[in-house]
A and B are shown apart, each in its own frame.
Chain A
Amino acid sequence: MMTAEFGSFALTLALACAIAQLMLSTAARIRRSTVLAAAGEGAALAAFAGVAIAFASLIYAFVTSDFSVANVAANSHTEKPLLYKVAGAWGSHEGSMLLWCLILTGYGAASATLGGGLPRGLKALMVATQGALGSVFLAYTVFASNPLMRIATPPVEGRSLNPLLQDPALAIHPPFLYAGYVGMSVVFSLAVAALIEGRVDAAWARWVRPWALAAWSFLTVGITLGAFWAYYELGWGGWWFWDPVENASFMPWLVATALLHSAIVTEKRGALAGWSLFLALGAFTFSMLGAFLVRSGVLTSVHAFAVDPTRGVLLLIILGLTSGSAFTLFAWRAPQLSPGGLFAPISRESALVLNNILLAAATATVLLGTLYPLIREALTGESISVGPPYFNATFTPLMAALAILLPAGPLLAWKRGDLRGVGQRLWIAAVIAVGCGLLAYALVSPKKALGCLGLALGVWLIGGAISELVERTRALRVPAADSWRRLVGLPRGAWGMTLAHLGLGVFVLGACFEIGWKGEAAEALSLGGSLDVGGYHLVLESVGPVDGPNFEAERGLIRATRDGKPVCTGEPERRFYPAGGQTTSEVAICYRGASHLYMVLGERRETMAGTPVWLVRAYWNPWATLIFLGPVIMAIGGLISLSDRRLRLGVARRAKAVAGEQPA
């Protein structure tokens, strides 16, 4: 079959198209030519088509187990289920870079097609910048990490994908994550274009918003899927480890969150234009930094994954080149931007600036914590560790401060706010929050002051979001029918914000409860043996062999009871994948409301008497569902906001057309 060659050819062609896109669109801006601009947009579409063909041929190679393609031989296996064969296409370094390019050119094509309302010059420059990014990453993929390379002597069987990665949540999470990372490229391109044009105004902020929202929502879903996967696949009950790789995905999210808020100020009040631009450039810079950190191996040098220092250097050069030139442009042009509208210390502007200061500090925390071991090693030659205790001591207080301030923000007026009015609207939420915290402190054992504080914060955020909704609908102050009309008539952007803030509250509630009152038990159990956790009594009833498609496993049957009444059964597995020689654990989770009873079957041992025993671990994770539900609500909020009429693409164009028809 020639599909791999065909794909390689299409990929090279896509590189040529991306270069053409850069040159045609730049020329279009210089000569102010609509013909050249259209040609540049056409090249953007062609680049996307080329990468799409290359990607399809890679998936085809994986599905047909074509082991003459080096990447397939290294990452696939004939016995692997179809889903994981397809997911194998982005399971390796080379394949994931191709996915990155696919999404990058996809966004390029989308922004070329949908950006109809933008001024011509700005649009041409945006398409040109997208083309420049596409050229750099496609060149990297074609010349340094082509996933479609053949090998001279194909093996009979592939080396298979790491079994830990053979999981539905993990298989689908990279596309979401990358749609988030790379979505920031459009924001980046818009910022570069605005800097070159020298104009950043309310309209610019409005164009940036939908792209930033879309990317942010995707990133939120991607990170949550990843955390959920870690939660049930790694088998030790945690969901966030402050690992450098997690941090790499978290930093662009924090910056994008800050951008979403500062862009509101730029849109409504014309202020913070320079800062919004800085964040717009920063979001994609952190995406690229993440790509570099994860692939170069600078932070995880001893690890089994094929990390390649030369590729790391190439990615670092790409990062330096693109971000370096963008920030140089920023340093040159930004001082000329107008400072925008005035505002008082107590105002929505101030609240949003505080939000940005805290988010920037949080990003700095994560960045320092991730990179400081490298810095220390370079400075003093000693290696140190920066682990979860550091982040708990720095990141958490910053976020707590943010959570305390958050509900007040949306209730403050622009320019000059009224703190007393805010107090009148929020005191009920404050009383409920403090009451819940105190009640939890009095009732829940063991007593955890910090856990109760977190709980109160979660309730405060949720109460704040609801208070905000009450305020907008004037509920209880005007007739119910009136309130209802107001509620239905709320713009989707308002709903989006309320949901996002509510989701954060749900997350904080779940995270604090889970961290504070998690229960853990582990025993070596023979058949019929039992252990107790979180008020549940767990009995290991039986253990039997299981024959999987590409693994062999032992499956336990654990019966859980509470106060003598049967509650549920769990069937955790311990799997052995012969292809890679790895052992993994499939946990069993018994959902009890929002809480989880989490069961793990460990290794088999023998007692002195020769009877077999299994190491069984169980966790009681109270309210753990909320940890994953919260971010999902946030992402839904983002998507609803995205569908707001104000942001819907093409609205500007239609409005212009209507205005044009009317006699002056």
Chain B
Amino acid sequence: MTARSLLAALAGVICIAAAADPAERLADPHQEARARAIFADVRCLVCQNESIDDSEAELAGDLRRAVREQVRAGRSDAQIKRFLTDRYGEFVLLTPAFSWVNLALWGGPFLVVLAGGGLLASRLRNRAAEAELSPEEANRVRRLAESDSA
């Protein structure tokens, strides 16, 4: 399958930002906006690579309802996310946790930048040292120049 067609398969059924469904919305627009921000970080567990913000799957609807209820009850984002991870594991959040086991994931890109920068710096330094002539070489150059002009 081509790259895109598999994505289509991932979508499975068409999913049109299901969270915007007016039937589900919270009355308070501020709370609704908070709920939507949380949805974008919560994975629809049955549809692989989609957030519950996008998914039309039934389970995604259930999760949205649960999150909205908690937002309405005044719980904080962190509390709501902890509630979700307690129930479904780390898998449910689309942002991987900042933890030791994820060190390579979060640190990897910056390690590449550091390593690349280090290599560049060392090359610039070494080659600059190489570019300077040793006293013998300088003498040879002078002699050659003199014999040439002679």
Point out residues on A near B: beta carbons under 8 Å.
90-93, 96, 162, 164-165, 170, 173-174, 177, 226, 229-230, 233-238, 241, 243-246, 248-249, 290, 294-295, 300, 302-305, 339, 342-345, 350, 353-354, 356-358, 360-362, 364-365, 368-369, 372, 375-376, 379-380, 382-390, 393-395, 398, 520-524, 582-585, 600, 602, 615, 617
Task: Write out the residue numbers on chain B whose beta carbons fall within 8 Å of the beta carbon of A241.
Answer: 7, 49
Q: Are A387 and B43 in contact (CB under 8 A)?
A: yes
Q: Which of B5, B14, B92, B112 contacts A585 (CB 8 A)?
A: B14
CB proximity of B144 to chain A, nearest CB, Å? 21
Q: Are A236 and B95 in contact (CB under 8 A)?
A: no
Chain B contact surface mostly: helix
Q: Which of B9, B22, B120 contacts A303 (CB 8 A)?
A: B9
Q: Are A387 and B48 in contact (CB under 8 A)?
A: no
A-B CB proximity, top 10 nearest: A387-B94, A357-B116, A522-B20, A389-B95, A164-B8, A361-B112, A226-B4, A174-B2, A365-B109, A305-B9
Q: Which of A238, A295, A585 contacts B1 (CB 8 A)?
A: A295
A300-B49, A380-B101, A585-B14 given as contacts; is B112 within 8 A of A357 (CB)?
yes
Task: Write out the residue numbers on chain B whose beta carbons fall within 8 Å of the beta carbon of A295.
Answer: 1
CB proximity of A90 to chain B, nearest CB, Å? 7
Query: 8 Å CB contacts to A: which residues of B68-84?
Result: none
Task: Write out the residue numbers on chain B whose beta carbons fall within 8 Å of the beta carbon of A358.
Answer: 113
CB proximity of A169 to chain B, nearest CB, Å? 9
Task: Write out the residue numbers on chain B whose beta carbons fall within 8 Å of the beta carbon of A522.
Answer: 17, 20-22
Q: Which of B41, B105, B106, B117 contacts A387 (CB 8 A)?
A: B41
Query: 8 Å CB contacts to A: which residues of B15-42?
Result: 15-17, 20-23, 40-41
CB proximity of B134 to chain A, nearest CB, Å? 16
Task: Write out the residue numbers on chain B whose beta carbons fall within 8 Å of the beta carbon of A174.
Answer: 2, 4
Task: Write out the residue numbers on chain B whose beta carbons fall within 8 Å of the beta carbon of A361.
Answer: 109-110, 112-113, 116
Task: Write out the residue numbers on chain A whose beta carbons fall within 8 Å of the beta carbon of B16.
Answer: 235-236, 585, 600, 602, 617
Task: Write out the residue numbers on chain B whose beta carbons fall within 8 Å of the beta carbon of A90.
Answer: 2
Q: Does B138 touch A at the CB level, under 8 Å?
A: no
In the bound assembly, the distance between CA atoms of A415 and B19 in angstroms comes to: 56
Task: Write out the residue numbers on chain A whose beta carbons fall within 8 Å of the beta carbon of B93.
Answer: 385
In the bound assembly, the distance between CA atoms of A304 and B15 in angstroms comes to: 16
Q: Which of A248, A369, A583 contacts B13 (CB 8 A)?
A: A583
Task: Write out the residue numbers on chain A whose beta carbons fall within 8 Å of the beta carbon of B131.
Answer: 342
Q: Does B87 touch A at the CB level, under 8 Å?
A: no
Task: Write out the residue numbers on chain A whose beta carbons fall within 8 Å of the beta carbon of B51.
Answer: 387-388
In the bound assembly, the distance between CA atoms of A148 and B138 in angstroms comes to: 73
Q: Which of B8, B23, B127 contacts A162 (CB 8 A)?
A: B8
In the bound assembly, the distance between CA atoms of A583 and B11 in angstroms comes to: 12
- Could you name 19 residue pairs across A and B whose Cβ atoms are closer than 8 Å? A91-B5, A226-B4, A236-B17, A236-B54, A245-B3, A343-B127, A344-B124, A357-B116, A368-B104, A372-B102, A376-B101, A384-B90, A384-B97, A385-B96, A387-B43, A387-B51, A387-B94, A584-B14, A617-B16
In the bound assembly, the distance between CA atoms of A615 and B96 in angstroms comes to: 34
Q: Are B120 and A300 in contact (CB under 8 A)?
A: no
CB proximity of B143 to chain A, nearest CB, Å? 24
CB proximity of A442 to chain B, nearest CB, Å? 23
Task: Write out the residue numbers on chain B whose beta carbons fall within 8 Å of the beta carbon of A394.
Answer: 106, 109
Task: Write out the residue numbers on chain A whose beta carbons fall within 8 Å of the beta carbon of B130.
Answer: 342
In the bound assembly, the distance between CA atoms of A375 and B128 in angstroms comes to: 41
Q: Are A342 and B127 in contact (CB under 8 A)?
A: yes
Q: Which of B6, B92, B109 contacts A300 (CB 8 A)?
A: B6
Q: Does B10 touch A at the CB level, under 8 Å?
A: yes
In the bound assembly, the distance between CA atoms of A584 and B13 in angstroms comes to: 7
CB proximity of A275 to chain B, nearest CB, Å? 9
Q: Are B10 and A243 in contact (CB under 8 A)?
A: yes
CB proximity of A579 to chain B, nearest CB, Å? 16
Task: Write out the residue numbers on chain B whose beta carbons fall within 8 Å of the beta carbon of A92.
Answer: 1
Q: Are B43 and A305 in contact (CB under 8 A)?
A: no
Q: Are A303 and B48 in contact (CB under 8 A)?
A: yes
In the bound assembly, the distance between CA atoms of A234 and B14 in angstroms comes to: 6
How many interface residues does B have (CB within 8 Å)? 56
Q: Which of A294, A339, A384, A523 contacts B102 (CB 8 A)?
A: A384
CB proximity of B46 to chain A, nearest CB, Å? 8
Q: Which of B12, B54, B101, B108 contacts A364 (CB 8 A)?
A: B108
Q: Are B12 and A245 in contact (CB under 8 A)?
A: no
- B110 nearest in chain A by CB position: A361
Q: Are B108 and A246 in contact (CB under 8 A)?
A: no
Task: Write out the residue numbers on chain A whose beta carbons fall within 8 Å of the beta carbon of B96.
Answer: 372, 384-386, 390
Task: Write out the residue numbers on chain B whose beta carbons fall within 8 Å of the beta carbon of A389.
Answer: 40-41, 94-95
- A340 nearest in chain B by CB position: B127
Q: Which of A173, A303, A386 contacts B4 (CB 8 A)?
A: A173
- A389 nearest in chain B by CB position: B95
Q: Are B94 and A294 in contact (CB under 8 A)?
A: no
Q: Are B109 and A304 in contact (CB under 8 A)?
A: no
Q: Are A243 and B127 in contact (CB under 8 A)?
A: no
Other A-B contacts than A96-B2, A357-B117, 4 sampled, CB-CB below 8 A, are A170-B4, A234-B8, A234-B11, A372-B105
In the bound assembly, the distance between CA atoms of A564 and B23 in angstroms comes to: 28
CB proximity of B14 to chain A, nearest CB, Å? 5
Task: Write out the residue numbers on chain A whose beta carbons fall within 8 Å of the beta carbon of B106.
Answer: 394
In the bound assembly, the distance between CA atoms of A226 and B110 in angstroms comes to: 30
- B18 nearest in chain A by CB position: A236
CB proximity of A594 to chain B, nearest CB, Å? 22
In the bound assembly, the distance between CA atoms of A176 and B112 in angstroms comes to: 31
CB proximity of B118 to chain A, nearest CB, Å? 10
Q: Are B49 and A235 in contact (CB under 8 A)?
A: no
Task: Write out the residue numbers on chain B whose beta carbons fall within 8 Å of the beta carbon of A365.
Answer: 108-109
Task: Write out the residue numbers on chain B whose beta carbons fall within 8 Å of the beta carbon of A617.
Answer: 16-17, 20
Task: Write out the residue numbers on chain A whose beta carbons fall within 8 Å of the beta carbon of B8.
Answer: 162, 164-165, 170, 233-234
Task: Write out the residue numbers on chain A whose beta carbons fall within 8 Å of the beta carbon of B95.
Answer: 387, 389-390, 393
CB proximity of B89 to chain A, nearest CB, Å? 7
In the bound assembly, the distance between CA atoms of A188 and B51 in angstroms comes to: 38
Q: Are B120 and A164 in contact (CB under 8 A)?
A: no
